[in-house]
């Protein structure tokens, strides 16, 4: 290890908090998942913990249930560490003793809710890291911002916090750090410089026809045939319009029209997801989607121009290369062969909005949450593609992965903070 990493590791070992409390907090948060914008109970648990430390200025209710706690600790860089808090409308099937049985109202319907994306893990890891950094504050200098964000799953939480005056309440950071659990082997760490996560946009599209009797199609304009042509044609965008070597994914995840077999409906609703590794590719794909939809509507004699609704939108997450290389050096030195470089992932985040609004670089990484024994057995049998992934009802990060998340987040912060006040 380098001397800087050795110093950081010594601090981590000396001031590592009792993880029993944070494992219990993790189980509690897992039992009480909350949908985007409804994270009241989680925010209350987190804010009570932060207030108990005594040294932080704690701001609550930012952009909904967002929390930002600030610790000023001498001259040095200002770092923002972020964890997201919201869960998903999914029925949990993990079989865990602390599995969620909660339902919540979502768009006027009661839905089962679970932490299928590991945000409960993120919250517990940041809470423990906050404790470690607070207790070790004599050994580093700078300003620490611990941010607990709502509504990441809808890609609206970071924006809401910014628009609610986040950076009028707390200093603008010099660097934003974030992590995410994945279905890698527990102990594994992975990241990359440059494009990390894809830009994503979900579009709702309504195609207009002229409904009528299924036995009199010549008197109607059938939006179903138009919609089917659209779905087929959209699949040519990635293969024929995205530059080779660039990553682009287009999915038509929902198509609905009518309710009976013998009636031609008067409209069709289509939902399209666009993902791209960079914003320029995303803009090109978006334009192609609209061009094809409108051309097929004209060809099919649609009675009106299509109607669009942006359900969700987020730009690409890009790791700052210089900051990433510095952190990569620490990770390789500490985690050894458990660290690996990754390819751009086909997921989308909104944490980069915090960095952009602050004019700061961003570094994000992933840590493994699959039980090591389970991973090894699955790898031996050649079935790694069967392991539950985030957003699966079976996704259940191991309790041991909390230690890895705390190690990674603490090491990252100590890598960038200035040397201690008392050596």
279: which 2 tokens?
A: 């914003």
Beta bridge partners of 194: 319
Report long-range pairs for 212-219 (Cβ below 8 Å, ≥24 apart): 212/263, 212/264, 213/262, 213/263, 213/264, 214/261, 214/262, 214/263, 214/264, 215/262, 217/264
Which residue, among 245, 238, 331, 337, has the nearest Cα to 285 in the 3D structure? 238
* C-beta separation of 351 from 172 below 8 A: no
* C-beta separation of 86 from 59 below 8 A: no
313: which 2 tokens?
A: 């939108």
Beta bridge partners of 204: 271, 309
Task: Give the relative orientation of helices 119-135 and 3-15 as an angle to the nearest 10 degrees.
Answer: 100
∠ CA 103-160-321, rounded to 5°: 110
For 107, other C-beta atoms within 10 Å of its C-beta total: 7
∠ CA 120-354-409, rounded to 5°: 45
What is the rounded CA–CA span in Å between residue 318 and residue 321? 9
What is the rounded CA–CA span in Å between residue 27 and residue 116? 13
* C-beta separation of 230 from 290 below 8 A: no
Q: Known catalytic residues?
A: 86, 152
Helices within 174-260 (DSSP H only): 223-234, 236-240
**149: three-class secondary structure by DSSP:** strand
Question: How remote is the C-alpha of 133 from its chain's centroid?
Answer: 24
């Amino acid at each position: 290890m380098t001397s800087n990493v050795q110093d950081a590791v010594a601090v981590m070992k000396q001031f590592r908090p009792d993880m029993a409390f944070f494992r219990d907090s993790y189980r509690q948060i897992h039992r009480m998942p909350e949908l985007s914008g409804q994270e009241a109970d989680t925010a209350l648990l987190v804010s009570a913990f932060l207030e108990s430390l005594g040294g932080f200025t704690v701001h609550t209710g930012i952009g909904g249930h967002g929390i930002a706690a600030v610790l000023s600790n001498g001259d040095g860089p200002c770092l923002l560490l972020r964890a997201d808090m919201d869960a998903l409308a999914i029925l949990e099937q993990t079989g865990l003793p602390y599995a969620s049985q909660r339902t919540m109202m979502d768009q006027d319907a009661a839905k089962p809710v679970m932490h299928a994306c590991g945000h409960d893990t993120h919250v517990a890891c940041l809470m423990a890291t906050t404790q470690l950094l607070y207790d070790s504050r004599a050994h580093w200098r700078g300003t620490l911002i611990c941010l607990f964000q709502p509504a990441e799953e809808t890609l609206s939480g970071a924006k809401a916090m910014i628009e609610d005056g986040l950076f009028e309440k707390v200093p603008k950071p010099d660097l934003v750090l974030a992590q995410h659990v994945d279905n890698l082997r527990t102990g594994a760490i992975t990241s990359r410089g440059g494009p990390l996560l894809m830009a994503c946009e979900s579009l709702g599209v309504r195609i207009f026809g002229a409904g009528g009797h299924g036995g009199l199609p010549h008197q109607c304009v059938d939006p179903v045939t138009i919609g089917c042509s659209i779905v087929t044609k959209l699949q040519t965008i990635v293969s024929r319009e995205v530059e080779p070597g660039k990553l682009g994914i287009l999915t038509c995840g929902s198509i609905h029209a009518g309710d009976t077999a013998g009636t031609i409906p008067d409209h069709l609703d289509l939902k399209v997801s666009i993902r791209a590794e960079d914003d320029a590719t995303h803009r090109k794909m978006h334009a192609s989607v609209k061009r094809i939809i409108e051309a097929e509507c004209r060809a099919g004699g649609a009675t009106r121009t299509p109607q669009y609704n942006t359900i969700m939108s987020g730009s690409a997450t890009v790791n700052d290369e210089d900051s990433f290389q510095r952190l990569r050096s620490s990770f390789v030195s500490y985690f050894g062969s458990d660290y690996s470089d990754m390819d751009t992932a086909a997921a989308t985040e909104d944490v980069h909005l915090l960095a952009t609004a602050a004019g700061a670089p961003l570094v994000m990484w992933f840590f493994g949450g699959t039980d090591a024994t389970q991973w090894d057995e699955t790898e031996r049998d050649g079935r790694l593609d069967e392991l539950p992934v985030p957003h699966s009802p079976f996704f259940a990060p191991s309790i041991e992965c909390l230690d890895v998340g705390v190690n990674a987040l603490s090491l990252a912060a100590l890598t960038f903070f200035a040397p201690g006040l008392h050596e």
